[in-house]
Every structure is written in structure tokens, then in C-alpha cells.
Amino acid sequence: MTDFSLAGTVWHNGKALRKGYTTGSCATAAARVAALMVLRQQVINQVSITTPSGITLHLNVELPVIEGQQATAAIRKDGGDDVDATHGMLIFARVRLNDSGAITLQGGAGIGVVTRPGTGLAPGEPAINRTPRQTIEAAVREVIGPQRGAEVEIFAPEGEDRAKKTMNARLGILGGISIIGTTGIVTPMSEESWKRALVIELEQKRAEGRENVILVPGNHGERFVRESLHLDPAMVVTMSNFVGYMVQETVRLGFKRVLLVGHPGKLIKVAAGIFHTHSHIADARMEVLVAHLALMGAPLALLRAVSECDTTEAALPLIGRAGYARIYPELAQRVCARVQEMLRFTQSPPQCDAILFSFEQQLLGCSRPLAVIQEAFQ
């Protein structure tokens, strides 16, 4: 049985949709139970973890095996009613104790390997994203204590085949799936229900008397606002891919200022007038980046190198080394110009600012001086 505590379903058109859990939660739970089995020298058939979003999962353990100072266990991925390429597959963890005092994490069979920059992980690293890395290590450390060490291997026998149905190869992640998830939970929603859920939070902010709002695509943006901009996270609302829709809702609700904070991979689309940023709508990221670099007089060699990058993150070091980092403030200004153009027939459009940052949480560029924006949103 899988227990999602009080948050196991969402409702859409009068129908209850079951939530699921991410590959990151599977890997974390498998690593935790494998570590427990080594210490106790006892097979365990159910394990509990608390996800980064605070939801407790009670998960069935499959194929548990103890071999001396190592153990292996698997958790079956369940996407709830939001079925994806990894739904139903087994995610394994093998934990081997040692006396090093350190916990090391490896990707085994079926876990993709990063081959190009731009994913937030170094080439050669297993495709286990940052939040799952942290939760896996924390789960094992909690079990083994501060003195022991452990080698943790995450593997997925079906991973190489399942990865063919994902975008991994296009991103340079080869040989398997990615272990992902920032909240640990998969929430199924239709697009309209999702948009409405996002607007509810926007309405709550306005009902509290707030006139300024910060819109971010997701958790990375919220973290950047809190840790790097040092602005009140209570002003943050997730817009997901629905940039235009959420900006239009700020007009309806009477907000005075809107700050868009995001990675260039999302906001560069807005600079091109693309206000729904999901890749199934449009994906002209590299073309827009190349066009703006060309307008700045960038050499052909740089334009070609950038155009061959798979992600905007991968292009950042090329642009920086060539001395064209000034493109980011220009892109931020262009984002605001596009927003103003979209709202040109409204009588009281909000003041719009934009800030771009990298996956390394580095500030790239602002539409106005950062201090001016921070002061406006204090």
C-alpha cells in the first residue's frame, strides 16, 4: 500500500485524480531501506520517507536481498494518474557499508550518464539530480549515523529502454533514465486545472493586500529569490509554463509590480513573444539566443557554437568566455518589452521587471539595476 497522508488526490471536473511519486522518491526510499536491512540484518518489506514537500510516503519494498555488509532493495515507480515513461518500473538501490565515514553515490545500469554541460550536472556524472542526491544521502546518513560510511548505487534494469521515450538523449543524457524530482510528488492535472490552481495562490496574495508579486517557473526560481535576491518568499507565486496567462491575471487582480525571475531556458522564450513556454508549444531557445548575439555583433564562430548547444545552460560558458555576458540584461529588458507589448491595450498594466539566473544560482542579468528592483520589492 502507498499512503500519501492527507494529500493523496487532487480533483478535476469532479473526479479524484491520484497523486504519484517521483523517481527521486523511489531511489531515496530504496536506499533508506537497503541501509536499514544491512544494519539490522533483517529483510524489510515496507519503508517510510518524508518527501521534500513534507508528504510522508509508506512504500512497499520489492526484491529485498541482504549479502553480508551490503543490501539491495527496489521501489516501484508510481506516477499516479499522471503516467509517464517511468511509471511502473523498479528503481533499485544497493548500499554497502564501510568505515570511510563518507557516503558516495553512483549510478548503475539503466541510470543515464551526463555527456554534455547544461543540465546542472558535470559531464560524466550519473543523471541523479541535486534534490534526489541530497535526499538519498540524508536518508542513508540518518540510518547509519555520523561515523560509518556507505557506497550507494542506484540502478534501474529497465532504464535504458524506458529512456528512449524521454528527452534524455536530446539533452545528452545517455544510457538510461534520470533520477529527478524537486518535491518528491507527482501531481496529475489537466492544463486548465493546473492554471486555475496557480491563480488561486495569486488571488490569495492579492487578498492579503500585496501589490507586488514575483512569478517564477518553479522551485529553482523560488530558491534564487530567497537565497540570492534575499526577497520575501511570501511574494513568490509559481507560474510554471503559463507566463502570459499569469501576467494577464496580475492585471485582473490589480497588482502594481510584477517581477519575472527565471533561467534563460524559460524566459528567453518570452523575449521572443512566446508566453507559453512548454517545449510542445515552441522551442526556439537557441535561435533566439543566436539572433540576439548576432545583433550584438558576435563572431560567426560563437554563433555556430551556441547554435549547436542543446541547452541555454550549456551556452552560458561559451558566451561568457567570448565576452558577451551583456546579452543577459538585454534579454531581461526584452522580456519586459514583450510583456508591455502584450498588455498594451490595458489601462493599468503593472510595472514589469525580469531577472535571469543560471542553474548555479548565479545572477546573469536584470532589466534594471538589481538594487533598484530589490528596493521596489522590499
Domain boundaries, the chain: 9-186, 191-376
Task: Tell whether domain 9-186 is in CATH 3.40.50.970.
Answer: no
Q: What is the per-residue pLDDT across 118-142, written as a single tens digit (0 to 9) for each?
A: 677 889 999 999 999 999 999 999 9
Average pLDDT over the chain, rounded to an integer: 91
Cell of 12: 478535476
Q: What is the per-residue pLDDT across 303-361, written as a single tens digit (0 to 9) for each?
A: 999 999 989 999 999 999 999 999 999 999 999 999 999 999 999 999 999 999 998 89
Task: Read off the amino acid at residue 210.
Answer: R
Distance CA 95, CA 343 (A): 55
Distance CA 238, CA 201 (A): 9
Q: What is the per-residue pLDDT across 255-299, written as a single tens digit (0 to 9) for each?
A: 999 999 999 999 999 999 999 998 778 888 999 999 999 999 999
pLDDT at 3 over 60: no
- Global confidence as pTM: 0.67
145 exposed, middle or buried (CB, 10 Å; 0-12, 13-18, 19+)? exposed
